[in-house]
Amino acid sequence: MTVPAAGDAACTAADSGARTASPPYATGAGGAGTRRVLSRSGGAATLVALALLVLAPVLRRYDLGASPPYLVAGLLLGLPHGAVDHLVPAWRSTRTRPLRTRLAVLLGYATIATAALLAFRAAPTPATLTFLALSVLHFGTADEGFHAERAGRPIRYPVSGVLARGGPPVVVPLALWPGTVDPLMTSVAPGAAALLTVEVRLLAAAGLLLAVTATVVRALRAGRTAEAGEPVLLILLFAAVPPALAVGAYFAAWHSTRHVARLLSDDPANRDDLAAGRLGPPVHRFIRRAALPSLAAVAVLAALVGGPADPLPATVAVLAALTVPHAALVAWTDRSGSAGTPRHDHS
């Protein structure tokens, strides 16, 4: 989730010539290309989670994956997934004026992120707890949207599904790894861990298990076996792998990768490449567009750290600040699609 930048002149020509991407539930080449790239990203994320599960005994035996650098590295690797947010509204419709839309999104994005960052620095404890709740909501709705788009069905947000898919990265470490998580949380917000009492964590864990059960049963009844297994896989991942590594890997390899895959299929300039099964050009196009905003976010982070101090508090603060407008934009994009305008309909 990075601050978008306005410098995309290099890609404007490609955009202007390809404003008619197919909806995600189309049966033509565009729809098939979308489902292909989403399937690849989903499979890659699952393989990373399974690999970490296999390595979990080794990680725990040699005390690997519990220190803050693992978490910071994962958060930084995942930052670029929001770097092209300023382009998404113009991709969504030919009725928008790209330059005016980008400037409006940039201004709104920067205003909301700045306000969130100031709130985080002024009141870190309530801001951290709010960020944890927002993370559950954002992760859960993102996965529900990903699965719906990959399957070519309208996006819906069942409460149990959102909690089952977004809850494991937050609830499981808090419930099962308090000795590791609480010091990290205290370094970010000194009073936050104390407010999350044992009773609160157990209640959250019980609610998560109920949501996972309902989601698994619903997915199995619908014949979606792979979708049914994912919440269980995530619970096992966060239960077995030290939380700094588990959360960092989840953010970079699961959440961010899936979001980038959706963005690749959103970009109208990628339609022909994806329809032909060419993934390289869309990935290179995304990297080119995301580079400057990502570097800007890292520069802001470096300025906030300002020395050899622990980078975790500043990293979490910047990430939390950027999450607020990013989550709002993703929610708007998915909601406009589920309300009747297909996510990739640029008519």
Is position 344 annotated in a ligand binding site?
A: no
Would you say 138 is a known binding-site residue?
Answer: yes
Tokens describing residue 281: 């050009």
Residue 284 annotated in ligand binding: no
The torsion region of residue 343 among left (phi > 0), alpha (psi -120 to 50) and beta comes to alpha
Q: Is 147 annotated as a binding residue?
A: no
Give the residue among 341, 327, 347 at the shortest CA–CA distance from 25: 341
Annotated binding site for Fe cation: 81, 138, 255, 259
Annotated binding site: 81, 138, 255, 259
